[in-house]
Structure 1
Amino acid sequence: MHLPKLATTVATLTAFTLAVAKIIVGFMSGSVAVIASALDSVLDMVVSIFNNIAVRVSESKPDEKFNYGKGKVEALAALFEGTIIILSGLFIIYEAVRKAIEKETITHLDDSIYVMIFSIVLTGLLVGFLYYVVKKTNHLVIKSDLLHYKTDLITNISVLISLLIVKFTGFVYIDYILSILIGVYIIREASEIVNEGFEILLDVALDFKTVEAIKDIIKKEPLVLDYHCLRTRRAGNRNFVDVHLVLTPDMKLKLAHTIIENVEEKIRKLDPNKVWVINIHADPYDDSFINKLQEECE
């Protein structure tokens, strides 16, 4: 199975397992922190199913209707996931405040502690696997899932700590306090996912390091006099690059073509795991001044 697809499948099965365990123990104990964690696992499962579909769609090949592919489905998935996480964070805060006001008690503490330990171990293994996939593919959907489950891991550890404090001190309000802090943390982390999704939909440029590497490749290419109108963006597993190269006016077409191919090949080697869509325009002179007047690169 393709690595990103395998990652979303494993994440879905893990979230399902954790959701069932937490729901049972959460409602038995009445712990708002455990119930909040259970709700988060249910949402994790829904999001991971959606992400699995998004991965399949985003990596589909371009066709007559979608000439550039469907890579931006990745960004839509990130927006969806981020929004879901923010809503879950708000609900956690609401439940913590409500239960604090109503002074609800916590029972079945030992069962709650055991299920949270189980959750921490399983989520930790999943985070390690997702980190490996992100390192190999740099896939936005998997990166969003990694951030999501890292947040879950921290949440689970916090819940375990609160349950231990309640067990040994009887200070039940720590459950509510930590739940509110968890909710705030989740909302903050989710905002980063939403922001990245918006940036991709708005055609944000490739990261600074990659753009500088592209510039360096062009500058070091023999017989390239100058360049201008360098533009980059990404969608799914595709990186897009457009640039104008200034070459000698009387250069033969075959030589110009060879130079362009050399530049393209070196750019592709920056990240072999990505599909590079490179469009290089050869200019016999620097027409960047004209392009600036027109406010576009043609």
Structure 2
Amino acid sequence: MEREKSFWIKISFLVSVLLLIVKFYSFYITKSTAILTDALESIVNVVAAAFASYSIYLSSRPRDDNHPYGHGKIEFFSAGVEGTLIMLAGLFIIYQSIYNFFFPNELEHLVEGIVLITLSGFVNGVVGMLLVKKGKQLNSIALGASGKHLLVDTMTSLLLIVGVLVMYLTNLFFLDSVIAILFSLYILYSGYGLVRKSVAGLMDEADPVAVEATVDVINRHRKPNWIDVHNMRVQQYGGDRHIDLHLTLPYYLDLGQVHDEVEELEQILEEDWPGVMEVFVHADPCIPEKCCHYCQITDCPVRKFPMDIKIDWNANNMSKNQKHYHELSS
């Protein structure tokens, strides 16, 4: 898996370098600030792909004494660096656009520039879609971030082509700076999105997608002996996922039976995840006076009250640090 991640990020880096040359050549022959925005973003692509390559290498290293949860969080840092670079490029473009609005360049060879930007946009789109797809398959935030960045670059390139065509057909060359500023605002927005995601991961913000996926797996394999699941925490670092939860079991089970139930739940979760999965399950005994009302065991030998409700397990009640009988009282 790590080799495949490394392969695709290297492809991203090589493509970014080639398109960087193409876009700066386009700017050189046209003198268009709008085209310069595309070229500057390609510098970000190159730097980000290089950093993502290193982050994937580092995240693939096994856990050690200093990093008991592995090195997967570096991918969040990589996405943050990429987002910051995108935002800096956007700010520089705004400055350059305002300057050129008052001191405009004479635009030349716009048709040739349009052809080159069209070619680079097409290549970016293909590579971007592949990286997003591989990022999902390989559970790599760095690959996914690089792919989304290239897709953003493709969108801006396509809109840029439209803008340059309008300038070419109307000779309203002041639109060069206007188009560049509009694109730079979009670039700032996309950069902020990556930084926001990076900060959320580094701060261990709850990941709704990972939590819902875990809830779905447990519901599909739900057993009567699993009276409830609560205090569940799901964290994802790169391709590694860590799950902590409390599992309520019948109090009359012996230690060996409790171990078997816990091990079965751990195995179910581990087999459902293609990357590295670490599961910690804390077993709680049931409280007959309170748990019998929703316990699903039909032949329970110590039942004191009839079952009169079935509690649906969802991300909300499984994440709370309390047994589910609190839902009945509330």
TM-score of the superposed pair, with normalisation by structure 2? 0.82
Equivalent-residue separation in structure 2 for 1:242 and 1:43 (angstroms): 38
Does residue 157 (structure 1) correspond to residue 158 (structure 2)? The answer is yes
Partner of 1:295: none
In the alignment, which residue of structure 2 is the partner of 1:255?
Answer: 257
How far the C-alpha of 1:249 sits from its partner, in A, is 2.4
Residues 59-111 of structure 1: CA deviation (Å, up to 9, x unaligned): 21111221110111011111111100111111112111111111222112122
Query: What SS does structure 1 have at the residue aligned with 2:283?
Result: strand
Once residues 35 and 158 of structure 2 are traced to their aligned partners in structure 1, the CA distance between those partners, rounded to angstroms, is: 11
Which amino acid in the other structure matches residue 283 of structure 1? D
Per the TM alignment, residue 200 of structure 1 is displaced from its structure 2 partner at its CA by: 0.9
Q: Is the 8 A contact 1:217 1:266 kept in 2?
A: no
Q: What is the distance in 2 between the residues matched to 1:124 and 1:215?
A: 37
CA contact (8 A) 1:158 1:178 kept: no
Query: Pick from 212, 223, 226: which aligns with 2:225?
Result: 223
1:177 paired with 2:157, answer no
Length, aligned pairs only: 288
> Aligned equivalents of 1:65 and 1:87: distance in 2?
33
For residue 33 of structure 1, give the secondary structure of its aligned residue in structure 2.
Answer: helix
Structure 1 residues 68 and 135, CA gap change in structure 2 (3 angstroms) = closer
Contact 1:86 1:191 in 2 (8 A): yes
Partner of 2:37: 36
Query: Separation in 1 of the partners of 2:322 and 2:63?
Result: 34
- Name the SS of the counterpart of 1:62 in structure 2: coil
Larger radius of gyration: 2
Say whether the 8 Å CA contact 1:62–1:68 is kept in structure 2: yes
d(CA) in 1 for partners of 2:93 and 2:122? 22
- Return 19-28 or 70-79, whichever deviates more: 19-28
Please give the alpha-carbon distance, in whole angstroms, between the structure 2 residues aligned to 1:214 and 1:177. Answer: 50
Task: List per-residue Cα deviations over 1:96-143 (Å, max 9, x = no partner).
Answer: 111111122211212211211221221122122113212312311111
Match of 2:122 in 1: 121
- Listed as ranges, the gaps of 5+ residues in structure 1 are 291-298
CA distance in 2 between counterparts of 1:122 and 1:107 reads 24
Moved more, 75-84 or 154-163: 154-163
Distance 2:118 2:230 in 1: 56
Contact 2:133 2:144 in 1 (8 A): no
- 1:138-217 equivalences under 5 Å are 138-207=139-208, 208-213=211-216, 216=219
Which ranges of structure 2 fall in alignment gaps of 5 or more residues? 288-320, 324-330
Higher mean C-alpha deviation, range 98-107 or range 49-58 = 98-107
Q: What is the correspondence of 1:98-113 to structure 2 with a 5 Å cutoff? A: 98-113=99-114
Counterpart code for 1:278: V
Report if the CA contact (8 A) 2:17-2:46 is conserved: yes
TM-score (normalizing by structure 1): 0.90
Say which is worse superposed, 85-94 or 130-139, in terms of deviation.
Answer: 130-139
Distance in 1 separating the partners of 2:91 and 2:254: 64
> When you count helix as a share of all residues, which structure comes out higher?
1
Q: Which residue of 1 aligns with 2:14?
A: 13
Q: Secondary structure at the match of 2:277?
A: strand
Q: CA distance change for structure 1 residues 21 and 62 in 2, over 3 Å: closer, same or farther?
A: same
Q: Report deviation, 1:214.
A: 5.1
- Distance (whole Å) between structure 2 residues aligned to residue 15 and residue 274 of structure 1: 28
Question: Does 1 or 2 have the higher relative contact order (CA < 8 Å, sep 6+)?
Answer: 1
Q: Which runs of 4 or more aligned residues in structure 1 lie more than 4 Å from their structure 2 counterparts after TM superposition?
A: none
Asked if structure 2 preserves the Cα contact closer than 8 Å seen for 1:57 and 1:73, the reply is: yes
